[in-house]
C-alpha cells in the first residue's frame, strides 16, 4: 500500500513539473568558420563567423561574428579575450525576445583554455566569461533598440578529441551556460550544448569537422506563468584555418 501511495505521489509530481513548463522543438543547422593568424610564437589573432540557421538552412536563427587575441602561456594553457557582434532572429513558435523581431547584441569575453593529453586522446577545458549588452525593443514598430540590457554569463565546456588515424578524429563536447547578475531573468540556467563530431585534418593548417548538435535553451521570460524550453537538434559544420 505504501508503494502504491508513493507511486501515485510521484506520478502527480512529475505531471505538475511537466505542466509548469512549455517545450518547443526546432531543427537547426550551424555553419562556422574560424581563422587564427599567427602574430608571434605566443600571440595569435582570432577571427570567427557563425551562420546559424533554423529549419536546418531555410531561416535565420542567429548571426555571430567574433574577433579576439589569444596568448599561449605554455603548450597546455592559453588565454583569449575579444569582442562579438551578434544578431538573433525570431524563430520557432516562441521567440527569445518578447517582441518577435531580430535584436542585436554587443559582447565582450575573457577565456581560459587548458588542454591535457590523456594517452592518445586530448581532453580540453574551456572557461569563458561574457559581458553582454542586448538590445531591447519595446514594440513591433521599433526599428532599433529602445534600451540596452546588461547581462553576465559563465560558460564551461569540456571536450574530448580521439584520433582515429593521422587524418581522422572524433570529438565530443558538452557546454553549459549560466547567467548571473542583477538583470538575470528566469534563465539562471541559460542553455546547454552537446555535440558529437567527426573531423578531418587536411594539413597542419586546415581541418574541418561535422556532426550532430543538441541545444537546450531556456527563455529568460515566462509565457502564461510557465518557463519555456527550446530543444533544438540538427547538425554543425566547423572549418578551422591556422595562418603562420
User: What domains can be seen in the chain, in order of their start residue?
Assistant: 2-243 (2.40.160)
Tens-digit pLDDT profile for residues 21-57:
899 999 999 999 999 999 999 999 999 999 999 999 9
pTM of the model: 0.89
- φ and ψ of 7, to 5 deg: -65, -40
pLDDT of residue 28: 98
**Cross-strand bridge partners of residue 35:** 47, 241
Q: Are 155 and 174 in contact (CB under 8 A)?
A: no
Residue in the block written with cell 501511495: 5
pLDDT of residue 20: 82
- Reported confidence tier of residue 95, pLDDT bands at 50, 70, 90: very high
d(CA 170, CA 198): 5
Cell of 234: 540538427
pLDDT of residue 197: 98
> What's the rounded mean pLDDT across residues 76-105?
96
Q: Give me the chain's average pLDDT, please.
A: 92
134 pLDDT more than 90: yes
17 pLDDT more than 90: no
Containing 12, the helix (H) or strand (E) segment is: helix 2-19
With CA atoms as reference, report the closest residue to 84 among 112, 54, 47, 43.
Answer: 47
Tens-digit pLDDT profile for residues 210-219:
999 999 999 9
13 pLDDT more than 60: no
- Reported confidence tier of residue 11, pLDDT bands at 50, 70, 90: very low
Amino acid at each position: 500500500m505504501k508503494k502504491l501511495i508513493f507511486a501515485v505521489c510521484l506520478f502527480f509530481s512529475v505531471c505538475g513539473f511537466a505542466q509548469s513548463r512549455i517545450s518547443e522543438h526546432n531543427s537547426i543547422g550551424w555553419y562556422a568558420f574560424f581563422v587564427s593568424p599567427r602574430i608571434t610564437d605566443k600571440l595569435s589573432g582570432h577571427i570567427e563567423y557563425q551562420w546559424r540557421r533554423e529549419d536546418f538552412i531555410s531561416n535565420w536563427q542567429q548571426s555571430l561574428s567574433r574577433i579576439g587575441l589569444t596568448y599561449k602561456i605554455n603548450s597546455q594553457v592559453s588565454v583569449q579575450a575579444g569582442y562579438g557582434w551578434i544578431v538573433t532572429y525570431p524563430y520557432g513558435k516562441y521567440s527569445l525576445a518578447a517582441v518577435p523581431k531580430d535584436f542585436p547584441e554587443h559582447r565582450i569575453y575573457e577565456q581560459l583554455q587548458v588542454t591535457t593529453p590523456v594517452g592518445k586522446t586530448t581532453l580540453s577545458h574551456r572557461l569563458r566569461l561574457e559581458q553582454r549588452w542586448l538590445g531591447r525593443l519595446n514594440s513591433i514598430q521599433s526599428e532599433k533598440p529602445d534600451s540596452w540590457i546588461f547581462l553576465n554569463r559563465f560558460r564551461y565546456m569540456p571536450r574530448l578529441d580521439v584520433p582515429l588515424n593521422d587524418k581522422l578524429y572524433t570529438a565530443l563536447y558538452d557546454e553549459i551556460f549560466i547567467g548571473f547578475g542583477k538583470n538575470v531573468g528566469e534563465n539562471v540556467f541559460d542553455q546547454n550544448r552537446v555535440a558529437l563530431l567527426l573531423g578531418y585534418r587536411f594539413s597542419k593548417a586546415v581541418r574541418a569537422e561535422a556532426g550532430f548538435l543538441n541545444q537546450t535553451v531556456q527563455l529568460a521570460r515566462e509565457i502564461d506563468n510557465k518557463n519555456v524550453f527550446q530543444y533544438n537538434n540538427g547538425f554543425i559544420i566547423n572549418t578551422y584555418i591556422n595562418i603562420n
